[in-house]
Structure 1
Amino acid sequence: MTLMKLNFRTALLLGSLMLGASPALAEAVLHRGNSGEPQTLDQSQTSIDIEAFIVKDLYEGLTVYDADGKIVPGAAESWTVSDDGLVYTFKLRADAKWSDGSPVTAEDFVFSMRRVEDPKTAAGYANILYPIKNAQKVNKGEAKLEELGVKSVDEKTLEITLEQPTPFFIELLSHQTALPINKASFEKNGAEFVKPGKLVGNGAFKLTEHVPNDHLTVVKNENYWDAANVKLDKVIFYPIDDQAANVRRYEAGELDLVYNFSSDQIDRLRAANPKQVHVTPAAATYYYPFDTRTEPFNDVRVRRALSMSVDRDFLANEIYDGTKLPVYSLVPPGLESYGDPEKPDFAGLSQLDREDKAVELMKEAGYGEGGKPLNIELRYNTNPNHERVATAVADMWKKTFGATVTLMNLDISSHYAYLQEGGKFNVARAGWTADYADAENFLNLNVSTNKTFNYGHYENPEFDALMKKSYAERDPAARSKILHEAEALIARDQPIAPLMNDANLWLVADKVKGWGDNPNNEHLSKYLSIAE
């Protein structure tokens, strides 16, 4: 009898303990709809935001953006800058570790930055680090890796020397190209170092599973220096480029975050729950580059005529329901150091007047009614909004010039890979979001030596000379003036047709806490939590 009572009491005690423990034992899992499959997790090769969202959870740079989009210390706890603005000295956190428990050292950053600039790496974003002394020379094979201006002073002190003062250098270091990689893992695993079980990171999370085109799972990194403040146990990224499917899964409670949903759903979604719909103006431009290597797009008259005839107000207001702004400049408005961007001479005309002038230009170039037939292939990455824009633009060109326009779409990874690898095209859809808040980051897209992101292969020695001059100018006002002169050439030659300024579109479930809207579109999972 006594034994039976003891067992009964023990069972009650164990049961109550288990009940009390169950909330604490429940995993905090965030389900992120990520809008597409990443091409790579190798930070030297990444180029698009859906890759950056993942990579920045796995690795931490010297600086990071917080939830509100402000630059804050990351792997570096502090830094100093020399009086001439050329030498940055970073103190790494004493408790900064890799996910395997080994210390993060200054030599890790030296190794990683040398790897990015090594011509053998063929890093598409190598130019991001060009402000560092000898970076461009190293990248072009004109200097040795050891001559790159990065130095390990001691295990926790990193010194970076620049070619010239660079006002945006601290912001630039938050870019994924400046993220460190683990030298030991890379030397052991080679290209496989980004695979689950082999990837050694220094970020808040570590990679455990990647099933291409299905999901990618990261879990909390117990060796992260700030692990005590990371509230999520696991984040699962879903590379769903079908926006309708994303929204359906979100509304079914299967996804907690969705990036880039179809804008025609905004009114319905806001009616259901306005707090969950986040539309944030972005330092980003939606544009169409022309391939200047191919006829007739090597003719400035044709490019200007095609750009003129696009009704940007229709695209922004009818297709995107006012969540984008019609623009005529590559550099977005709102950059404090730059001011109002330069516009082409036709920007102030009415749409009807623009179309009349466009027809005249096209006839002068020998195309359109009574001239040679105008056949255009318009490429875009698979997305309902991009398809609607492409269809509308094709209709505008057909009505204005009698053009025959065929549409071609690829998934986001294949689309950008084709453009970045120099594939020939007629007109393509592209978008650019600021890597740092400076006009140079947009104008550099048209520098002839930018083989990765100058999709249309525009070449203008005068433009290149102005950009080169801007890098040497230390006076902010004089530098801004030079950049305006450079943009005026882009506005004149129209190697690209800027169409709209972007907005970041997110769906954020009520249970997601710590979310901050910001124009940089930076949303590290380390700042988020789940409240059930």
Structure 2
Amino acid sequence: MRRLRIISVALLVCIGLVGCGSGEDHKFPNRISPDIGPDGTKTLRKGNGAEPQTLDPAQASGVPAANVLYDMYEGLVTYSRTGDVIPGVAKSWDVSDDGKTYIFHLRHDARWSNGKPVTAQDFVFSLRRAVAPATASPYADIHSPIVNASAITSGKKDPSTLGVTAIDAHTLKIQLHDRTPFFLQTLAHPSSYPVYPPAVKQWGNQFTQPAHAVSDGAYVLKSWQVNNKIVLTRNRYYRDNKDTKIDRVVYSPIGDSNSELSRYQSGALDFTYSAPSSKLEAIHKHIPKQMHAVPGLGLYYFGFNVTRPPFKDNPKLRMALSMALDRRIIVQKILRGGQPPGFSYIPGDMHGYDSVTYPWTNWPDKKREAMARKLYHEAGYSKDHPLKVKLLYPSSESNKQIAIVASAMWRRVLGADVIPWNQEWKVYLSTVHRHIDTTLFFAGWIGDYQDPNTFLSILNSHSGNNEPGWDNAEYDRLQSASEHMPNGPQRTAVMHKAEALILKQNPVVPLWFVTNHHLIKPYVKGFVGNPLDVYLTRYLNIVPAGQKGGGS
């Protein structure tokens, strides 16, 4: 999804561990209590960050919604345990020699949760809906490789002209403008999932409600108590239901990682969304085998609203704020979770891509800070005439601490007056999207597929995820060109130029790259960490101590 998530960072003052229940160590309670009913029904209880805005695949935004949708739906392709793209509803596909035409052969046993067959026409309906202006999908641009998709989204053409055709009930043709090396990966994205046409036509936006929900994945929506829990149950018509081991999934929205840890220690959760960095040392000491640290495909950053003053047309000011931050202090002293500092925009070594870094990455602190002050003054600011802005962040104690630390660094180095302010998750997303009430904001991006374009594309001026509102014609040209080039040195060179332009103009300030931390009870089997941080419940199992078994 739009993979922005509420993060877990260390508190500046380390507080004591608080736990519930009974466990192996009175200093670190850790109840081992799998939820298995008298009839053998297995329930997986997962922490899930913030409350999802929606469970409409075309409109959903954020990791919490994505986690639920991965279990509810299946696209033409899906993810393996290791995060690789594998056949989903499509059992196979053919690609033309020029890379512009894909023919997908759908499984005859693919079924909706009401028992109806999943057809090629369902995908035609769903993809047309995903790019239609009326849907206002934040991910419409991910479909831009498909013929006429961009023209449809901009209102220039009718959705019926999209380059997607049902040849017959089980054969789907998708035509692209040009060769796109990462196209198959985009089809695993939730915005490419099929929705059940009769439900959408009958219920409109209410088709996502439990009473109307119909899905084609391993699970179906049973209930949704806002700010309490989302419950999924097995889709008995799912093509691989016989190999699915877990019967129910309960997603709990817990925005604060310390509260989530307490729930985990009490035995109320089996799998956490994150782990508080201030407690990592204690976790590694007491339950090291339950901690899973996985290098992720994500970046946290500060974004500038470049559509309005003071950051509009002021790259020197943006660079000054970037250079004034000590990223190594943030990751080593505050985060303490093994996160790499962000001196590039794209994570390093992504399928062989060597990221471009700031030229001042290894400068001594005094030299870096002196240059930051010089640029700050050249931008028209000083300690007597300081920059005064507010820094927006999604509500949580941990996010607040990052905002406070950054504000303190800017005040010390530049004399800037940056005031942190917060909004609840849903309100925050709406505020950042509008580009009206923000000047500076804290955000993150988790890659949707394993290609540099998943990061480069969001800063294209036509992207629905371009939160800074950056509009640079040269960047658009480079990024768009790289989308359609075959993998190789020429494509890499073009992407390097695009990334270098980001680091020169600084519409965003990279802070650090993601290392995901999950606590998982020892009776949960089948977990395999992957860079996309995507874990389908159908691959997992619950096996109490003393019983034999594993992942599905």
TM-score, with structure 1 as normaliser: 0.93
Report the residue type matching 2:400 in the other structure.
E
d(CA) in 1 for partners of 2:401 and 2:534?
27
Instruction: Please point out which of 371, 382, 405 is paired with 1:368.
Output: 382
Report the residue type matching 1:324 in the other structure.
Q
Is 1:320 the counterpart of 2:320? The answer is: no
d(CA) in 1 for partners of 2:487 and 2:251?
44
Aligned-pair identity (%): 35
Q: Which moved more, 1:248-257 or 1:164-173?
A: 164-173
Q: Which moved more, 1:472-481 or 1:78-87?
A: 472-481
d(CA) in 1 for partners of 2:163 and 2:118?
20
Is 1:290 the counterpart of 2:304? The answer is: yes
Tell me what 2:407 maps to: 394
3-state SS of paired residue (1:429): strand
Is 1:301 the counterpart of 2:316? The answer is: yes
Tell me what 1:83 maps to: 97
- Residues 432-491 of structure 1 show CA distances to partners (whole Å, capped at 9, x for unaligned) of 1111111121112221122x3211111211111222332343463212211111111111
Decide whether the 8 Å contact of 1:291 with 1:424 is kept in 2: no
Q: Shift of residue 417 of structure 1?
A: 2.4
Is 1:345 the counterpart of 2:335? The answer is: no
Kindly name which structure, 1 or 2, has the bigger radius of gyration based on alpha carbons.
1
Is 1:465 the counterpart of 2:477? The answer is: yes
Instruction: Please point out which of 166, 178, 186 is paired with 2:192.
Output: 178
Instruction: Please point out which of 498, 512, 529 is paired with 2:541.
Output: 529
Report the residue type matching 1:61 in the other structure.
G
Answer 1 or 2: which has greater helix percent.
1
Aligned pair in 2 of structure 1 residues 240, 322: CA closer, same or farther (>3 Å)?
closer
How is 1:261-300 mapped onto 2 (pairs within 5 angstroms)?
Answer: 261-298=275-312, 299-300=314-315
d(CA) in 2 for partners of 1:423 and 1:116?
26
3-state SS of paired residue (1:287): strand
Tell me what 1:515 maps to: 527
Q: Shift of residue 24 of structure 1?
A: 7.5
How is 1:70-469 mapped onto 2 (pairs within 5 angstroms)?
Answer: 70-298=84-312, 299-337=314-352, 339-370=353-384, 372-450=385-463, 452-469=464-481
d(CA) in 1 for partners of 2:335 and 2:256?
17
Report the residue type matching 1:421 in the other structure.
R
TM-score, with structure 2 as normaliser: 0.90
Aligned pair in 2 of structure 1 residues 135, 476: CA closer, same or farther (>3 Å)?
farther
d(CA) in 1 for partners of 2:434 and 2:387?
26
Decide whether the 8 Å contact of 2:89 with 2:106 is kept in 1: yes
Q: Shift of residue 269 of structure 1?
A: 1.1
Query: Unmatched 5+ residue regions in structure 1?
Result: 1-21
Decide whether the 8 Å contact of 1:306 with 1:397 is kept in 2: yes
Q: Which moved more, 1:313-322 or 1:341-350?
A: 341-350
- Residues 46-96 of structure 1 show CA distances to partners (whole Å, capped at 9, x for unaligned) of 121111110111111111112221211111111111111111111111110
d(CA) in 2 for partners of 1:436 and 1:76?
19
- Residues 204-248 of structure 1 show CA distances to partners (whole Å, capped at 9, x for unaligned) of 011110000000101011011111011111111001112111100
Report the residue type matching 1:363 in the other structure.
H
Aligned pair in 2 of structure 1 residues 157, 442: CA closer, same or farther (>3 Å)?
same
Query: Unmatched 5+ residue regions in structure 2?
Result: 1-35, 545-552
Report the residue type matching 1:415 in the other structure.
Y
3-state SS of paired residue (1:315): helix
The size of the alignment, in residue pairs, is 508
Give the RMSD, CA atoms, in angstroms.
1.4
3-state SS of paired residue (1:408): strand
3-state SS of paired residue (2:272): strand
Is 1:501 the counterpart of 2:513? The answer is: yes
